[in-house]
């Protein structure tokens, strides 16, 4: 989060970072700078910390999604989106995917889910 707050120069990499933050907000239903986060922590740091210690989407996703996660396909799709968001918010801009790659990853995952339902 500090990346966008400290920089007045917009770039493709910062747009990708911002998109990753939006994805995290959608999954967690928390604000980027939610007061529930410990001081000096934002949504990106919080999700990274929880995911690296538990790899449990239920510890990250909003509790209202838990019932949806009874369907393993939906849970796996949420994990895939979470992983895309984490790639988008890599500290090093050069390690982030392009938006084209992000879209391709999301579309590919959605297509594989649809293929399983047919």
The C-alpha atoms of residue 84 and residue 65 are separated, in whole angstroms, by: 18
pLDDT the model gives residue 111: 73
Range 80-100 average pLDDT: 96
pLDDT the model gives residue 24: 97
pLDDT the model gives residue 6: 45
DSSP letter (8 states) at residue 61: S
Q: Which candidate, 49, 68, 73, places its Cα nearest to that of 60?
A: 49
The C-alpha atoms of residue 1 and residue 33 are separated, in whole angstroms, by: 8
pLDDT the model gives residue 102: 96
Name the least confident of 4-8, 61-65, 76-80, 96-100.
4-8
pLDDT the model gives residue 34: 87
pLDDT the model gives residue 93: 94
**pLDDT level of residue 85 (50, 70, 90 thresholds):** very high
Range 23-38 average pLDDT: 91
Phi–psi pair at 94, nearest 5 degrees:
-70, -15
Alpha helices of the chain — where are they, by DSSP H? Answer: 2-6, 12-28, 43-54, 72-88, 99-117
117, with CB counted inside 10 A (0-12, 13-18, 19+), is: exposed
Comparison of pLDDT for 70 and 35, the residue scoring more: 70
CATH of the domain spanning 2-117: 1.10.510.10
């Amino acid at each position: 989060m500090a990346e966008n707050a400290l920089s007045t120069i917009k770039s493709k990499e910062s747009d990708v970072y911002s998109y990753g933050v939006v994805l995290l907000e959608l999954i967690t239903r928390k604000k980027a700078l939610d007061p529930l986060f410990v001081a000096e922590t934002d949504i990106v740091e919080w999700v990274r910390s929880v995911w690296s210690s538990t790899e449990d989407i239920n510890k990250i996703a909003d509790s209202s999604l838990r019932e949806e996660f009874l369907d393993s396909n939906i849970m796996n799709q949420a994990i895939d989106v979470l992983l895309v968001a984490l790639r988008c918010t890599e500290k090093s801009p050069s390690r982030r995917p392009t938006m084209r790659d992000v879209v391709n990853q999301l579309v590919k995952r959605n297509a594989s889910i649809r293929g399983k339902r047919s």
